Amino acid sequence: MPSRFHGRWLVVGLYALIVSFAGFVGVLLGLYGPEDMRPVSLLGLIEIQPTAIGLAIFGMTTIGLFLGILLFLVMFVSERYDDADPKV
């Protein structure tokens, strides 16, 4: 019996949930965090002010890129090296 939440869709759903949570935590830090926060550097290219939106963008981008690269590598390896008849 096929399930709606299995395989690739489950992983993509968890990825979206984690990236959304990172954005939510960024908003909370921007709203209720310390007043003397310094600007953050996004990938060493863009300086973002520590506002609610700025920290949400920073969190979602960094977590999204890090997990996205790992997710891509896992999917690439699983499709390329899937062995239907393992030699045990």
Ordered by start, the domain boundaries in the chain are: 10-77
Q: What is the pLDDT of residues 1-19, one digit of tens each?
A: 455 656 778 888 899 999 9
pLDDT (tens digit, 9 = 90+) per residue, 19-69?
A: 999 999 999 999 998 888 898 888 888 898 888 999 999 999 999 999 999
What whole-number distance in Å separates Cα of residue 66 and Cα of residue 77?
A: 17
Strand duo 40-42 + 46-48: pairing: antiparallel
pTM over 0.85: no
Six-digit token string for 58:
């920073």
Backbone angles phi, psi at 30, to 5 degrees: -70, -35
Burial class (CB in 10 A: 0-12, 13-18, 19+), 55: buried
Cβ burial, residue 58 (10 Å; 0-12/13-18/19+): buried
